[in-house]
Amino acid sequence: MFKGFANIFKVPDLRNKILFTFLILFVYRLGAHIPTPGINADVLLSFMERQASQGTLLAFYDLFAGGAFSKATVFALGIMPYISASIIIQLLTVVVPQFEKLQKEGESGRKKLTQYTRFGTVLIAIVQSAGMSIWLKSGALASGMNMVILPSPLFQILTVITFTTGTMFIMWLGEQISEYGIGNGISIIIFVGIVARVVPSMIELLTLVTKGQIPIVRVIIMFAIAIGVTALVVVLTLAARKIPIQYPKQIRGRRMTQATKSYLPLRVNTAGVIPIIFGQAVIMLPATLTMAIRNEAFSNAITKYFSSGSPLYILAYAALIIFFTYFYTAIQFNPVDIAENMKKYGGFIPGKRPGKKTADYIDSILSKLTLIGAVYLAAIAVLPMILIRALQIPPGIGYMMGGTSIMILVGVALDTLQQVESQLVMRHYEGFMKRGKIKSRYV
């Protein structure tokens, strides 16, 4: 494995991609510390610390923003508006024929959909930043200290421009990573945002253990849960059902190709970490509404019923993950197209007639695997949350050790390592594993 990491720097193109990715991530983390003008950072931070101790959705939103939300920096909204826009556009490709047509047009259609996603991101960011500016302007601590130094309409306009521009800049950074760096840019930005919260959470945990507020036994159990969840995520992420495919002898020109055997790998978790990320984007909607709707009764109800680990939160979150697992799998994997391509090149599944019978067979297997994958994703996300709550671990620390964070961290890390390994193998260098290889979920 260490030799594989050393080989990275022997390939100029791969080395440049990785260095470029780190440079972009440095810019992203730098922006997460640039404060927005006119905000009393100390008052806001005190409020967010109280939110974190209560395990509210605002604190969870801050996790995905890499701590930028609690400091109201220029990147306070994070990448969530872009994810919300992506969800809306992908839903439209299912229900609106024009969007479905664009999706099937190949590269040109995808560019159009990407453009619509960008426009949607701007609109959502404007709405969210406007709501946040109202929330900041009217927010105050029990001591009477205001979050905004000089509340005025000019502050609201400046905040909307700053937050919206910050979100668009993050989106651009993610696109640059995807195009010129290594890995999926948006996923890596979310990955880095979560990792940025690891050190503060571990310091908080160590402080609580030192003061005797958390028994060491609970900490050991919590880490055991985290290790177990990580192992389960790795195993089920790489798990696949291999459907055998045969290609008969064919005569092409004056050459005869030999009959070959291959297989179609159907992943248990075809959708990857997307359902987790999409589920989080939707579950955070109530927290966004509390910023725009300044109603104490509404805010108290959201805090009570949608705090992390509450029964309603768990049920809603699990249902969203299951829905988005089926939805994203249906978008990414079309059994009819697979069957037609196999028929086109003479391939067939033993015992199944080419065409519709093959498509139905693939669809039946995919449906069963998707059910397993959806239940597994939902269980990975909510069960550690329940256990950590039972152990009375502070929510801020529990977020880091929970299944959602671990699933995103492991999933993004595996995908990125797979891309790096494929680049090494393509250039005849040894990868990270001497036996076998890291398998992508998207093969």
SS3 73: strand
pLDDT value, residue 259? 61
Each residue's pLDDT expressed in tens, for the chain with a length of 443 residues? 555 566 777 777 888 888 999 999 999 988 888 888 888 777 777 777 776 655 566 666 777 777 777 778 888 888 888 888 888 888 888 778 888 788 777 778 888 888 999 999 999 999 888 888 887 777 655 455 677 777 778 888 888 999 999 999 999 999 999 888 888 888 899 888 888 877 777 887 888 888 888 888 888 888 888 888 888 888 887 888 888 888 776 665 566 666 677 788 888 888 877 888 788 778 877 766 766 666 666 666 766 666 666 788 888 888 999 998 988 888 778 888 888 888 877 778 888 888 888 888 888 888 888 898 888 888 888 877 777 777 777 766 766 666 777 878 888 888 888 888 777 777 655 555 554 455 544 33
| Cα dihedral: 150, 155, 158, 160 (round 10) | 130
Among 231, 94, 97, 76, CA closest to 159? 76
Number of other CB atoms surrounding residue 234 within 10 Å: 14
pLDDT value, residue 419? 80
**DSSP labels, 265-278:** EEETTTTTTHHHHH
pLDDT value, residue 56? 62
Number of other CB atoms surrounding residue 49 within 10 Å: 13
pLDDT value, residue 441? 44
CA contacts within 13 A on the Cβ side of 172: 9
Secondary structure tally for the chain: helices H, strands E: 20, 4
Chosen CATH of 2-426 out of 3.40.50.2300, 3.40.50.880, 1.10.3370.10, 3.20.20.370: 1.10.3370.10
Residues 56, 277, 267, CA angle at the centre, nearest 5°? 140
Facing residues of 246 across strands? 261, 348
CA contacts within 13 A on the Cβ side of 19: 8
pLDDT value, residue 267? 84
pLDDT value, residue 432? 53
Among 178, 175, 156, CA closest to 167? 175
Phi, psi of 265 (to 5 degrees): -80, 120
Q: Are 321 and 371 in contact (CB under 8 A)?
A: no
Taking each helix axis as running N to C, give the angle between helix 80-95 and helix 107-138, from 0 to 180 degrees, rounded to the nearest 10: 130
CA-only gyration radius of the chain, Å: 24
Task: Give the sign of the dihedral formed by CA 185, CA 191, CA 192, CA 194.
Answer: positive
Residues 59, 63, 65, CA angle at the centre, nearest 5°? 110
